[in-house]
Structures are given as structure tokens and as C-alpha cells.
Amino acid sequence: ETSPDDLEDKFGEQVRTFVEEVTDDKNLPKAVRKQRQIEHAKGLSEGAALIKLGDKISNVMDITKTPPTEWDAKRCLKYFDWAEMVINNCPKVNNNLENLFFEVLQSGRNSITLKQG
């Protein structure tokens, strides 16, 4: 695991700050971490919001293409709903990326729903 000091040494203070903003506290239960992502999204800096947006785009695309083996369609759709709540609470920082997120999200929902049946 990379420490915050290692991040700062290699990439600078700004990157360290962004990473700290978007990193979950793994000591908390998963449900609490997920709720905190929704709540804390409002206060993200522009850089951290861009990272969060890119992360959610990537995750939705991955889940759509290759869902985790233990996830059924309902679980995938639940993740999509949660990711949408996080992004809806983020500061609006890049219209193109935000539009891409919602396109990927809709495509994912359509794909998972079709696979379901």
C-alpha cells in the first residue's frame, strides 16, 4: 500500500490531496463508506471531482462488460444507482465527462436489464 507521504514524494502535494479526498476509510463498514461517498461528494475539489467522475465511468463500464461473478443483475443495477447518486452530488466540473458518465450509465442499465431477461 502506498502511503500519503510516498504519493507526495512521487507526485506532489496536490495529487496527495486529491487522493486523500477520494479515498475511503477502510476501517468503516462498507455501507457507511458508500453513504459517506454520497455525502462528501458535494465538498470535493475540482480535481478530486474529476478523479471521482473518471473512477465511476470506469467502474460502470467494467461492471457492464464483465460484472463480478458473484453479482446478479439486481446488484449491478444497485451499484449503478449508487454511482449516480455520488456523481449527482459532485460539483459540476466537466460537462463532457458528466455526459459520458450518464451515457455509460444508461448503456449499462440497458445491457444489464437485457441480460436479465
Q: What is the mean pLDDT of residues 31-55?
A: 97
Q: What is the dihedral of CA 46, 50, 52, 57, to 10 degrees?
A: 160
Instruction: Return the biggest CA–CA distance within the chain.
Output: 50
Quote the CA–CA distance of 80 and 109 in Å, as a whole number. Answer: 7
Q: How confident is the model at residue 1 (pLDDT cuts 50, 70, 90)?
A: confident
pLDDT at position 115 is: 80
pLDDT in tens, 41-51: 999 999 999 99
pLDDT at position 117 is: 62
Quote the CA–CA distance of 109 and 64 in Å, as a whole number. Answer: 8
Which of 24, 10, 112, 22 minimizes the C-alpha distance to 64?
Answer: 112
List of domains in the chain: 28-116 (1.10.3210.10)
Quote the CA–CA distance of 111 and 73 in Å, as a whole number. Answer: 10
